[in-house]
């Protein structure tokens, strides 16, 4: 029988899950849950029923894994523990500093409910984290570097939109070639924020707005832009819609390390993602994690897990024999 998936929250991530389920023949999308009036939510595939989140408890026994597609700021800290009492769950909680407390709350709830919860899936946290772990375990004498981009930062784009006179905006984070090259050469540089990434902004200003003031407000904005070299382009709404409507992202996790009797040999491990759609790729990771959560549950495991705890084979639809014969 297929793994029955439920989606909580139908935004970019939820839509990504809906698409990804169709690529995985061992899974079925059983239901989508929303806080909006269900009749106002239009799925890509209209055959899947949409319910209000209040109906979720009625689906115990009808859904195997619930994928929580809410935000990390306020949704997931409440939703993940609450639903881990009722189902196996997967989330993409990405507030790095609060992961330990989220883990503890979810672990208590999942253990109480007898379920498996996999938190902080996606690519960072997620695949990038995994690659930091593997590379660090292999090369203990080394340095880690994470570069993000080229890609759209939603938080930085939002920050620009809040400036007076800004109609719309999109911000790209771009790794700097000089920094990347130094790391790939094994130079183990110490890099400031400014040396690692460039910030490029495409801004639609109101007709009567003072563009010089807007540009200055962007470039001096503390936390978001002040520590970076920032390039600001003013363009029309048509240009923004035409050229900047995608949500690409990606980046690299690199570890540069040494081995040998006196560290005479250098090694470089690089994991690189180039993603046309940040939310769809994240959804694809969440769905693989849902398969693992289901299988861990079948084995009698309980409590909160991260990608660090999941035997990789459990993420794949292939059997252990197929994996060894074809991928090892």
Contacts with its own copies, residue ranges (CB under 8 A): 16, 19-20, 23-24, 44, 96, 99-100, 103, 120, 125, 127, 129-134, 136-141, 184, 250, 259-261, 264-277, 280-281, 283-285, 288, 291, 306-313, 315-318, 320-321, 323-325, 327-328
Query: 148 Cβ partners below 8 Å, 6+ apart?
Result: 124, 173, 175, 197, 249, 250, 251
Nearest of 59, 63, 70 to residue 28 by alpha carbon: 63
Minimum distance of its own copies from residue 225's CB (angstroms): 26
Helix axes 99-113, 75-84, angle to 10 degrees: 20
Nearer to its own copies, 112 or 322 (CB): 322
What residues does 32 pair with on adjacent strands? 7, 50
Minimum distance of its own copies from residue 311's CB (angstroms): 5
SS3 4: strand
For residue 113, what are its two tokens?
Answer: 């409910």
Helix axes 278-298, 12-21, angle to 10 degrees: 60
Minimum distance of its own copies from residue 86's CB (angstroms): 24
Nearer to its own copies, 132 or 199 (CB): 132
Nearer to its own copies, 149 or 204 (CB): 149
Between CA 282 and CA 324 the distance in angstroms is: 26
Contacts 24+ apart (CB under 8 A), 235-242: 235/202, 235/203, 235/204, 236/204, 237/167, 237/168, 237/204, 239/202, 240/168, 240/169, 240/170, 240/202, 240/204
Minimum distance of its own copies from residue 220's CB (angstroms): 32
Minimum distance of its own copies from residue 294's CB (angstroms): 13
Minimum distance of its own copies from residue 222's CB (angstroms): 26
Nearer to its own copies, 25 or 37 (CB): 25
For residue 59, what are its two tokens?
Answer: 């689906």
Nearer to its own copies, 221 or 279 (CB): 279
Nearer to its own copies, 39 or 321 (CB): 321
Query: 272 Cβ partners below 8 Å, 6+ apart?
Result: 250, 251, 252
Nearer to its own copies, 191 or 247 (CB): 247
Minimum distance of its own copies from residue 81's CB (angstroms): 16
């Amino acid at each position: 029988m297929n793994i029955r998936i439920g989606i909580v929250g139908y935004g970019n991530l939820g839509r990504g899950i809906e698409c990804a389920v169709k690529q995985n023949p061992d899974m079925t999308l059983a239901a989508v849950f929303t806080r909006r009036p269900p009749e106002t939510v239009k799925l890509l595939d209209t055959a899947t029923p949409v319910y209000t989140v209040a109906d979720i408890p009625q689906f115990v026994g009808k859904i195997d894994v619930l994928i929580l597609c809410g935000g990390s700021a306020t949704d997931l800290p409440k939703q993940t523990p609450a639903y881990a009492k009722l189902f196996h769950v997967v989330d993409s909680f990405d507030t790095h500093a609060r992961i330990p407390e989220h883990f503890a709350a979810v672990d208590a709830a999942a253990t109480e409910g007898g379920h498996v919860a996999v938190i902080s899936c996606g690519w960072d946290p997620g695949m990038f984290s995994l690659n930091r772990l593997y590379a660090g375990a292999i090369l203990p004498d080394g340095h880690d570097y994470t570069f993000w981009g080229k890609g759209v930062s939603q938080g930085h784009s939002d920050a620009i939109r809040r400036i007076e006179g800004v109609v719309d905006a999109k911000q790209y984070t771009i790794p700097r070639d000089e920094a990347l090259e130094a790391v790939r050469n094994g130079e183990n540089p110490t890099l400031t924020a400014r040396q690692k990434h460039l910030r490029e902004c495409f801004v639609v200003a109101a007709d009567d707005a003072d563009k010089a003031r807007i540009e200055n407000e962007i470039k001096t904005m503390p936390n978001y832009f002040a520590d970076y070299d920032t390039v600001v382009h003013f363009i029309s709404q048509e240009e923004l819609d035409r050229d900047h409507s995608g949500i690409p992202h990606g980046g690299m996790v690199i570890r540069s390390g040494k081995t040998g009797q006196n560290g005479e040999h250098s090694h470089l491990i690089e994991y690189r993602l180039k993603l046309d759609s940040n939310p769809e790729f994240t959804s694809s990771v969440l769905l693989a994690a849902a398969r693992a959560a289901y299988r861990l549950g079948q084995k009698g495991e309980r409590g909160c897990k991260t990608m660090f705890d999941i035997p990789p084979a459990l993420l794949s639809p292939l059997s252990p024999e197929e994996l060894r014969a074809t991928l090892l």
